[in-house]
Amino acid sequence: MKLLITGGGGFVGARLARTLLARPQLDGQAITQLVLTDIAPPPADLLADPRVQARTGTLLSQTPAISGEDFDGVFHLASAVSGECELDFELGLRSNLDSTRALLDALRARGAESGKVPKFVFSSSVAVFGPDASVPMPPRVADDTLPAPQTSYGTHKLMCEYLIADYTRKGYIDGRSARLMTVTVRPGRPNGAASSFFSGIIREPLAGVVSVCPVDPEVSHPMSSPSQTVDGLIKVYEATREQLGGRLALNLPGLNVRVADMLAALEEVAGPKVRALVRFERNEGIAGIVANWPTGSSAERAGKLGLKPYTQFAEIIREYIADCQAGPNAQDTLKGMQ
Amino acid sequence: MKLLITGGGGFVGARLARTLLARPQLDGQAITQLVLTDIAPPPADLLADPRVQARTGTLLSQTPAISGEDFDGVFHLASAVSGECELDFELGLRSNLDSTRALLDALRARGAESGKVPKFVFSSSVAVFGPDASVPMPPRVADDTLPAPQTSYGTHKLMCEYLIADYTRKGYIDGRSARLMTVTVRPGRPNGAASSFFSGIIREPLAGVVSVCPVDPEVSHPMSSPSQTVDGLIKVYEATREQLGGRLALNLPGLNVRVADMLAALEEVAGPKVRALVRFERNEGIAGIVANWPTGSSAERAGKLGLKPYTQFAEIIREYIADCQAGPNAQDTLKGMQ
């Protein structure tokens, strides 16, 4: 089978690609070709796999070619992040709305010739939810909580969920939207996302570096590990329409955890010296954004697909440590633990 | 003030234009210029008003000009109807999604130069609601019922609601979306809409013509009269953001009525001979579509703006008869009552 991962050079996209290539099959079929599109090339290990074809450039520039190819399945992960979209409104529209529309239309155009209906998994986001003066947000946003996005990013994700549902209803694709929870612990450097600190307060201390937490320890949020997020995308891909049960967008599982719990888990796993590298210094800008985010989530329908969150944040930290130990830079990334 | 009505040549748009021109002011200001865009020109009485400027052509072809003008307010009514969009998927995307996006971007571009933030009322629809295997539709869809559109038309209306909320959050427009209930009694001929019979079973008998009802008498649906619909659009325009209370999309009031009640009201107003002109002949295609529509609605937030539905369907019929009597063709349109 021939698969496409948009955003295949990114952290989640590359991990998904690796996981898929290591499996004997997806949805009962062996993967013979895996096309990864992104604005930057994927990591070298993926480029070295003969089944992988990397294409670099914006998704919008690549959809004309995609309309001439038969894909059995698509994981659509390419996206500008929340903070970027707030700074550059047109970038958000182009990267998150127009690109999805162009991708859907490319698949529709091809399907009109080939008769094929590709499976299509869209990475939506917990950012579709938000507080609203007329409809308060529940403590745990559920599959059927009324969305009220408070960012352009969340707005476009939600619009794409509905667009994908309509293309699916018309039979152009077999679509489903998985709402990702905040993925923690992300490796690498802090980025511009307001949620960056959720990874930073674990990753930096483990590397022996001081980290500043910009919100109160009581702040709570649903988190998912990288491996659980990838598992969720794959399970949602493999689910039948009957298993999805009608509505095509669903929450992926998240562990609802307070910052205080995260730091207690850090101390449990890595000791008090590592924990002591985190200091609190409130940033009103970030704290204000985070105050609009869900404090927790539930994922009843994902649970029926066999997806469950970790029950302890320590498990998420241990997953990150194991990833670091398997990587080439463990001496640096885990310097704080030495 | 300078106003724009898109779809200003249509039935609701022209009636809105007439109502606005007859008022001393809108939102505290006199209307000095009223631009009506539509694919067909507006009725002659509107063209004769020196404040009216009619522009004919698709909305997409007109947005470049709009981006060079200062509008104080916009009523965005232009839309391809539900049935058309099901037959022609690209027409729906172009007319209902791309056109709204282009209009919003034209206003945003102009606002970036002028600093003006126009008020913007979007005519959304009860079609954003639908049944869903995982979330059953309540007997009365409310302002905060989770939408699940079952048509491209409803999908695009919902997407535009969220897009308008985001342009509003960013300060580009002062937007609000009013979900219209099914407008009854529409004058003229039957059209391609699946809802056409809701008007037809009243309009045709009053004109002395046989009408076929394609659904069971027990079918129930929320209805609104033309004047109530226009009043709703104006009240939503004049509402402050505080009065709207956060969420920007709200249901306009509807009278929840069964086909059987409609026909009883017809007999009450126009007599048994007129009522006898309606026969039942089930059309599985139409009945199947209508089975996916809401059986009723509530409009709590519109109620707080002072908007209330009629309490009897006879009032809707009497409004239609009065409209016919005021028009030039009453002899024909009310032939059944002679």
DSSP class per residue in B24-47? S-BTTB---EEEEEESSPPPHHHH
> Which among B162, B168, B244 is the top mutation candidate for probing chain A, defined by the most A β-carbons within 10 Å of its own β-carbon?
B162
pLDDT exceeds 90 at position A44: yes
Interface contact flag, A135 B163, Cβ < 8 Å: no
Is the pLDDT at B338 greater than 90? The verdict is: no
Q: Which residues in chain B (233-262) have CB-CB distances under 8 A to chain A?
A: 245-247
**Residue B225: other Cβ atoms inside 10 A:** 23
Instruction: Kindly report whether the global pTM for this prediction surpasses the value 0.80.
Output: yes
- DSSP E strands in chain B: the ranges are 2-6, 33-38, 52-56, 73-76, 119-125, 174-180, 182-183, 211-213, 220-224, 249-251, 255-258, 278-280
For residue B246, give the chain A residue with the closest CA.
A133
Choose among B132, B133, B163: nearest Cβ to A155.
B163
Among A132, A144, A150, whose Cβ lies nearest the Cβ of B146?
A144
How far apart, in Å, are the Cα atoms of B5 and each of A92, B17, B37, B180? 28, 8, 6, 16
Looking at residue B247, its pLDDT comes to 81
**Thinking of the domain B196-222+256-295+311-337, which architecture would CATH place it in?**
Alpha-Beta Complex (3.90)
Q: What angle do CA B57, B62, B63 make, to 5 degrees?
A: 150
CATH code matching the domain that covers B2-183+223-251, chosen among 3.40.1350.10, 3.30.1050.10, 3.40.50.720, 2.40.50.100? 3.40.50.720
Work out the angle between the directed axes of helices A11-22 and A226-238 (0-180°, nearest 10): 60
Domain ranges, ordered by start, for chain A: 2-181+224-251, 196-222+254-296+310-337
Residue A136's pLDDT band, with cuts at 50, 70 and 90, is: confident
A204: pLDDT confidence band, cut at 50, 70 and 90?
A: very high
pLDDT recorded at residue A230: 98
Chain A residue with minimum CA distance to B156: A163
Contact B224, B252 (CB under 8 A): yes
Q: Which residue of B has its CA nearest to A135?
A: B144
CA distance B138 to chain A (A): 13
Distance separating alpha carbons of residues B324 and A90, to the nearest angstrom = 48
Alpha-carbon gap: B163 to the closest alpha carbon of chain A (Å): 7
B-facing residues of A in 96-115 (CB < 8 A) are none
- Which member of B146, B165, B246 has the closest CB to residue A134? B246
Which secondary structure element, helix H or strand E, spans residue A41, and what is its range?
none
Contact state of B144 with A135 under an 8 Å Cβ cutoff: yes
The percentage of residues in chain A with a pLDDT greater than 90, rounded to a whole number, is 89
A247 pLDDT tier (thresholds 50, 70, 90)? confident
Nearest chain B CA: its distance from A59 CA (Å): 19
Burial B311-320 (b: 16+ CB within 10 A, else e): eebbbbbbbb
Per-residue confidence (pLDDT) for residue A240, from 0 to 100:
95
A159 CB neighbours in chain B (<8 A) are 159, 162-163
pLDDT surpasses 90 at A245: no
A2-181+224-251 matches A196-222+254-296+310-337 in fold: no
Interface contact B152-A133, CB threshold 8 A: no
Q: Do B149 and A162 touch (CB under 8 A)?
A: yes
- Tell me: pLDDT of B67 over 90: yes
Give the β-pairing of B211-213 and B119-125. Answer: unpaired
- Among B89, B169, B247, whose Cβ lies nearest the Cβ of A135? B247
Chain B residues closer than 8 Å to A170 by CB: 89, 152
Chain A, nearest residue to B137 by Cα = A144
Q: Which residue has the tokens 């009043």?
A: B231
Helices (H), chain A: 11-22, 44-47, 59-66, 82-87, 89-92, 99-114, 152-169, 196-206, 226-238, 241-244, 259-270, 272-275, 284-290, 300-304, 313-326, 330-333
Average pLDDT of the residues of chain A = 95
Which CATH code is given to the segment(s) A2-181+224-251? 3.40.50.720
Identify the pLDDT of residue B246. Answer: 77
Provide the pLDDT for residue B173.
98
CB contact under 8 A, B149 and A163: no
| DSSP H or E run through A37 | strand A33-38
Q: Measured between beta carbons, which residues in chain B are less than 8 angstroms from residue A150?
A: 169
Report angle CA B134, A308, A122 to the nearest 5 degrees: 60
Please state the CATH superfamily assignment of the domain spanning residues A196-222+254-296+310-337 in this structure.
UDP-galactose 4-epimerase, domain 1 (3.90.25.10)
Residues A304-312, mean pLDDT to the nearest whole number: 95
The catalytic site residues of B sit at 153
